[in-house]
């Protein structure tokens, strides 16, 4: 009888230790993910601004075909989406890209919108609580957790920035060397 109690206690102890180890491992993995997301966002900011600065001011209204956004509109779209996803799903707040900012057409105005939006997103990520990564949000495409929203933020900006690289090349401008890690 005493041996059974001892085995039960030992099993309980081992189970508790396994739960602690699994929890510590998950926290470490979550921390690594968030740190990588912050680093990637810093590099994305730098790279996107390098891309924007290469296009001459008079080419910010360039579009390869009539159905495409202009170079400047692509940058505003990237910024607006970054601000929307961050403010609506990672932190409750108002999109930092105002209606007026969405109408910017001049190179320096657009670069300012891009700069301030990336700074906002970095602030959101730097203050983000690890425990919230698993929180589910109601997204128009279906429920997503906040970790997925962070991945979506990165995927969306990468998609549109890739288009900007083509716009540069169509204007005879070599894109900057990639900085993404």
Ranges of the chain whose pLDDT falls below 70: 1, 6, 8-10, 12-27, 180-181
Give the pLDDT confidence of 74-127 residue by residue, as tens digits: 999 999 999 999 999 998 788 888 888 889 999 999 999 999 999 999 999 999
Fold of the domain built from segment(s) 34-170? 1.20.120
Domains of the chain, by residue range, sit at 34-170
pLDDT, residue 24, reads 47
Q: What is the CA radius of gyration of the chain?
A: 22
pLDDT, residue 22, reads 46
Three-state SS annotation for 81-112: HHHHHHHHHHCCCCCCCCHHHHCCCCHHHHHH
3-state percent helix, strand, coil for the chain, nearest multiple of 5: 70, 0, 25
pLDDT, residue 137, reads 94
Cβ atoms of 75 and 114 closer than 8 Å = yes
How many whole angstroms separate alpha carbon 34 and alpha carbon 122?
A: 11
pLDDT, residue 26, reads 52
Phi and psi at residue 137, to the nearest 5°: -120, 155
pLDDT, residue 156, reads 96
pLDDT, residue 118, reads 97
């Amino acid at each position: 009888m005493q041996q059974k109690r001892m085995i039960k206690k030992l099993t309980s102890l081992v189970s508790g230790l396994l739960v602690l180890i699994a929890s510590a491992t998950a926290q470490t993995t979550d921390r690594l993910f968030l740190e990588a997301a912050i680093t990637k966002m810093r590099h994305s900011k730098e790279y996107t601004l390098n891309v924007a600065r290469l296009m001459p001011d008079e080419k910010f209204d360039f579009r390869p075909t009539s159905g495409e956004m202009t170079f400047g509109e692509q940058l505003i779209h990237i910024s607006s989406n970054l601000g929307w996803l961050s403010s609506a799903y990672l932190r409750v707040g108002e999109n930092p890209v105002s209606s007026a900012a969405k109408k910017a057409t001049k190179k320096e105005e657009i670069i300012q919108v891009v700069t301030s939006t990336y700074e906002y997103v970095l602030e959101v990520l730097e203050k983000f609580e690890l425990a919230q990564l698993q929180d589910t949000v109601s997204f128009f495409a279906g429920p997503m957790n906040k970790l997925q929203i962070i991945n979506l933020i990165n995927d969306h900006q990468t998609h549109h920035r890739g288009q900007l690289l083509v716009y540069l090349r169509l204007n005879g401008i070599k894109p900057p060397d990639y900085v993404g890690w």
